[in-house]
Chain A
Amino acid sequence: MKLSCEWLREYVKFKLSPQELAERLTAAGLPCEGLEQVGDDWVLSIEVPSNRPDCLGILGLAREVATVCREALVVPEAAPEKGRASAGSMVRVSVEDQELCPRYVARVITGVRVGPSPEWMQRRLAALGVRPINNVVDVTNYVLLETGQPLHAFDYEKVAGHAVTVRRARPKEKIALLGGVAKELDGADLVIADETGPVALAGIMGGERSEVGPGTANVLLESAVFLSTAVRRTCRRLALSTESSYRFERSTDWNGAEYASRRAAALIASLAGGSVASGAVDTGRETPKARQITVRYWRVDNLLGAHMEKHTIRRILLDLGLESVYESGEGVTFLVPSFRPDLSREVDLVEEVARHFGYERLPAATRIPVAIARRSPADEASAAVRRKLAALAFCETVTTSILPREQGLAIRPWRSAREFQLTNPPRAGQDFLRQSLLPSLLEVRRVNQAARVRDVSVFDLGRAYLCRPDGSVDERRLLAALDDHAAAAADGPFGRLRLGLDAVLGAFGAGALLRVEPGDLPYMEPGESARLFLGDEFLGVMGRLSEKLRGLYDLRTRPAMWEINLDMLIARGRPMSGLIPLPKYPAVRRDVALVLDESASWSTVAAAVAAVPCPLRESIEFMSVYRGQPLEAGKKSLAFSVTYRSAERTLTDEEVNALHAELVKALTGKLGATLRA
């Protein structure tokens, strides 16, 4: 809403500079977003909150300025001289839908001379960005800007039968609006019609047929109240927005409709000549009862946390146009004016007091009770997991949950009864609510490929949006990691990922329960793909992106990745195992390198080791794997170390050698392996 300082002075004699005015209005909750000089005048751009329709008129803003400056507000006269004819005998108005149009005030002005409006009016309109047209139309725009009440002037002679009906449009009914735009209407739209059809789209725009022009002699002036939600619906559907509809959408003032009608009629008569028919046709039935709100002095102090003087409370609310109807030592009961639909509760009045007293003058509390903050197990576990993976040189990512449909559909490790689709996606085709973090990580890989980042180790802890069989939403917390290095690592494409996975499982004391079950997944490369289980429960998937999906994610490489159900781990809890006592005696390590068939996995070897009982064997640790010369094709050499330790004494070389020899012998036998020379 634009506000001209020169125009404003007509209603309130403020002594502030335009800059000060802008600051004071901002501090009172009417933020000034711009200030420009137009000739001798200054024009402020005020961002009016959606609950303040009264401030969409200069008079409403003037009331705020008057309260800020403690100056009197001058409301202009609106008493047209009464002509001989009566409005009631000249025009008939029937409202078919009282709900959509609770009030319609019609006045008639006869014998006008249409011409340019006076220079001062043209200047004020232009300052607020409204193009002057002629004295009659300019008055309707002027009064709209002044009061916030939209008005429409019809050429009385072009309204067939001198009768208007406010009704819902017939299906497929057409209207030609001002400016030559034709629209097709439906039964939810409200129109003003004469015998031959619609002459205006109610509250939005007049029709071309009844436009006021140079030949107009008699004017039918409309000032009405239209239901905000109905105007809003029609505007949305027809993609229209006008000064008029903007105000109706935010609701207008019941009493303002009648006042604006008088004000405009008087102005037309004084600027364009003519005579205002006496009275008006007014379809408004019962004036809505003014709301009464009691503000209790203690409640003001209680909400603001500061003592507010009684006279300050009274003064601010009276200045804003409220009327005191009852006062006691406890508080005041006010009558709320009809132009303030936002005031419906005591707390609303407290806000009025606070903003005009000044938020900045309200103190900050010095005493607040202490309380202990608690983090949920899920929150703590998530933080712990993030730290673990970052410590292992993974970078955390935060990725969007809305995916291009095809990319989202291609990787779905988790069962979901249905998918969630956006009806108004951010980009065509990007309407899929993700069911896995893996497509998100592949997109991260793509972004970094485009940025020529060669090596990427990333993880994401985020939600996937699954649907349970009963239809409810399962926003599952998942954890996924991706690794893609140009140079081959000693521990293979999955080494770093496995390290991360084991660290995560370790944080939940679940490391020993992991089962890796090789098997083909549709999105991973055959032979490089496995399902993960924790005991018997499905934990997630691991593998390398399949060659056939590489193109879908626009990748040159095939990253290795895993994804697990973090909620499942969180549900297990994070057992605090007590401290394991530090060993008193030294460990003895022995390395082994076995030459095995390619098909023998680490887990078979580990199981074979476990099958040789030995209380002094502490652990085994993977060291390296080697393929190539001088090994035959189809063979690999797997090196690992075995640690022996006793809790009671230092082991001698001899006994360790014996134990180790026994182990190696058992392994070579069971696995059909040979020792690497």
Chain B
Amino acid sequence: MSASLNARIEEARAQALAALSSARNPADLEKVRVEYLGRSQGRLRDLLTALKDLPAEDRRAAGAKINALKEDLAGALSGRAEQLGRSGGSSAAGGADLTQPGLARQVGHLHVISQTLEAIKDVFGALGFSPVEGPEVETERHNFDALNIPKDHPARDSFDTFFLSCGLLLRSHTSPAQVRVMESQAPPVRVIVPGRVYRPDAVDATHFYCFHQCEGLMVDEGVSFSDLRAVLTMGMEGLLGAGTKLRFRPSFFPFTEPSAEVDVSCIFCKGAGCKVCKQSGWVELLGAGLVNPAVFEAVGYDTERYTGFAFGIGVERLAMFRYGINDIRLFLENDVRFLEQF
């Protein structure tokens, strides 16, 4: 490399660093920047121009040196600027505007259904429930028969179902997964089954033909209704906050006996009555009960030895309640302006 160019580079370095250390304010710094790094007349620019006079074999090495100096100077400049800023240099001459907002950057979001399901898995996971999945394309046996819902029985009316041309169906609830779990595993069982279900409901603000449920199932010796009460109370407190109250009302499901519908105290009005809870102070969120021995018989469990409970949560319903969403259609529509709010 040409000795003279090399010397000019080192000279520039020394002078620039000296100028920087004597700079007292941003204006001084800017003067140094323009003198050395300026795009059109900076001294480094001149050095680069001088490269072309070098023999070809020296050019690359000298170029690299100039580039290294450029990086070093840029670093030293910002370092000195920071020093001056810290010591109260002179913000009057154009320091940082801390009131100015940042430029918007695109951010990703998990779907609110996904987030709600994760919350359910977290809370019930802490209570020992492992998440499992089941198929959505189901047989009549799993969706109905093994769950004690006989053909041509009015009980089937509340489980209106999409049928497929091949004789299978789209599950109308997550309960068939209960049957599959018990068919494949001996007690004790402690699982939740989050998943997608389908019902040919007329679409409106509270009904969509495709939605999500989360089933829960616990089977062991001595599992009782009071265990169900405890697990659901803790679970709902976990999802909706401490102090959430539950109200169990007798109900009828073919696959549980005794059966209950479970209302949760309104988190918006704390039970005083508001629009969300239709002034009742309560919102219906779950169905539950002790597993009907008929279901145990269908899967070959010993009905004398084992007892268990099952429950089902409407996931959209829970999310609508948690976030004050008033139209179920928003979930599957995926308007980005909706997705970005969660």
B242 to A: closest C-beta gap in Å: 15
Residues of chain A at the chain B interface (Cβ within 8 Å): 26-29, 31, 49-52, 228-229, 232-233, 249-250, 302-306, 345, 347-348, 350-351, 354-355, 359-360, 362-366, 368-376, 378-379, 383, 386-387, 389-402, 418, 420-426, 433, 444, 447-448, 451, 453, 455-458, 463, 465, 473, 475, 653-654, 657, 661
Of B60, B164, B170, B227, which is in contact with the most chain A CB atoms at under 10 Å from its CB? B164
A503 to B: closest C-beta gap in Å: 11
Interface pair A396/B250, CB less than 8 Å apart: no
Interface pair B258/A354, CB less than 8 Å apart: yes
Find A394's partner among B108, B128, B229 (CB 8 Å cutoff).
B108
A620 to B: closest C-beta gap in Å: 19
The answer for the CA separation of A400 and B333 in the assembled complex, in Å, is 9
The answer for the CA separation of A23 and B226 in the assembled complex, in Å, is 23
The answer for the CA separation of A393 and B6 in the assembled complex, in Å, is 47
Find B152's partner among A229, A373, A400, A433 (CB 8 Å cutoff).
A229
Apart from A354-B250, A365-B224, 19 more pairs, CB < 8 Å: A229-B152, A302-B307, A351-B257, A355-B258, A362-B226, A364-B229, A368-B127, A395-B109, A397-B334, A398-B111, A398-B113, A398-B332, A402-B209, A420-B164, A423-B164, A453-B337, A465-B137, A473-B135, A657-B64
User: Which residues of A sit under 8 angstroms from B248, Cβ to Cβ?
Assistant: 359-360, 362
The answer for the CA separation of A395 and B65 in the assembled complex, in Å, is 45
Find B121's partner among A375, A400, A402 (CB 8 Å cutoff).
A375
Q: How many contacting A-B pairs (Cβ < 8 A)?
A: 242
Interface pair A370/B128, CB less than 8 Å apart: yes
Interface pair B334/A458, CB less than 8 Å apart: yes
Q: Mark B299-342, 1 if CB is under 8 A from A, else 0.
A: 00000000100000000000000000000000111111101100
Interface pair A365/B227, CB less than 8 Å apart: yes
Residues of chain B at the chain A interface (Cβ within 8 Å): 60-61, 64-65, 68, 105-111, 113-114, 118, 121, 124-133, 135-137, 151-155, 157-158, 162-166, 168, 170, 188, 190, 196, 198, 200, 203, 209-210, 220, 222, 224-227, 229-231, 233, 247-252, 254, 257-260, 290, 292-294, 307, 331-337, 339-340
User: Which residues of B sit under 8 angstroms from A363, Cβ to Cβ?
Assistant: 226, 229
User: Which residues of B sit under 8 angstroms from A302, Cβ to Cβ?
Assistant: 222, 224, 307
A440 to B: closest C-beta gap in Å: 9
Interface pair A420/B109, CB less than 8 Å apart: no
Interface pair B107/A27, CB less than 8 Å apart: no
User: Which residues of A sit under 8 angstroms from B165, Cβ to Cβ?
Assistant: 420-423
Find A393's partner among B108, B129, B203 (CB 8 Å cutoff).
B108
Residues A378 and B133 in contact in the complex (CB < 8 Å), given A393-B106, A456-B336, A661-B60: yes
Residues A390 and B162 in contact in the complex (CB < 8 Å), given A52-B252, A305-B227, A347-B257: no
User: Which residues of B sit under 8 angstroms from A447, Cβ to Cβ?
Assistant: 333-335
B80 to A: closest C-beta gap in Å: 23
- CB-defined A-B contacts under 8 Å, sample of 8: A27-B249, A228-B152, A370-B128, A373-B126, A373-B190, A421-B165, A426-B209, A453-B336
B224 to A: closest C-beta gap in Å: 3
User: Which residues of B sit under 8 angstroms from A355, Cβ to Cβ?
Assistant: 250, 258
Interface pair A359/B260, CB less than 8 Å apart: yes
Interface pair B230/A451, CB less than 8 Å apart: no
User: Which B-chain residue is minimally distant from A342 (CB atoms)?
Assistant: B252
Interface pair A424/B163, CB less than 8 Å apart: yes
Please classify the interface of chain B as helix (H, G, I), strand (E, B), loop, or mixed, using the class held by over half of its residues.
Answer: mixed
The answer for the CA separation of A29 and B68 in the assembled complex, in Å, is 82
The answer for the CA separation of A458 and B121 in the assembled complex, in Å, is 24
Interface pair A657/B61, CB less than 8 Å apart: yes
User: Which residues of B sit under 8 angstroms from A347, Cβ to Cβ?
Assistant: 257-258, 290, 292-293
Find B336's partner among A369, A395, A426 (CB 8 Å cutoff).
A395
Q: List 8 A-B pairs, minimum CB-CB distance, nearest first.
A: A29-B250, A305-B226, A305-B224, A371-B128, A390-B108, A49-B252, A351-B258, A355-B250
Interface pair A396/B164, CB less than 8 Å apart: no
B292 to A: closest C-beta gap in Å: 7
The answer for the CA separation of A323 and B335 in the assembled complex, in Å, is 61
Interface pair B114/A386, CB less than 8 Å apart: yes
A490 to B: closest C-beta gap in Å: 15
The answer for the CA separation of A421 and B166 in the assembled complex, in Å, is 8
A259 to B: closest C-beta gap in Å: 23
User: Which residues of B sit under 8 angstroms from A51, Cβ to Cβ?
Assistant: 155, 252, 254
A448 to B: closest C-beta gap in Å: 5
A324 to B: closest C-beta gap in Å: 21
User: Which residues of B sit under 8 angstroms from A364, Cβ to Cβ?
Assistant: 226, 229-230, 233
Interface pair A420/B166, CB less than 8 Å apart: yes
The answer for the CA separation of A585 and B324 in the assembled complex, in Å, is 54
Find B225's partner among A304, A393, A401, A465 (CB 8 Å cutoff).
A304
The answer for the CA separation of A338 and B166 in the assembled complex, in Å, is 41
User: Which residues of B sit under 8 angstroms from A392, Cβ to Cβ?
Assistant: 108
User: Which A-chain residue is minimally distant from B68 (CB atoms)?
Assistant: A653
The answer for the CA separation of A552 and B173 in the assembled complex, in Å, is 33
User: Which residues of A sit under 8 angstroms from B137, Cβ to Cβ?
Assistant: 420, 433, 465, 473, 475
Interface pair B164/A250, CB less than 8 Å apart: no
Interface pair A29/B339, CB less than 8 Å apart: no
Find A304's partner among B60, B107, B113, B226 (CB 8 Å cutoff).
B226
User: Which residues of A sit under 8 angstroms from B340, Cβ to Cβ?
Assistant: 395
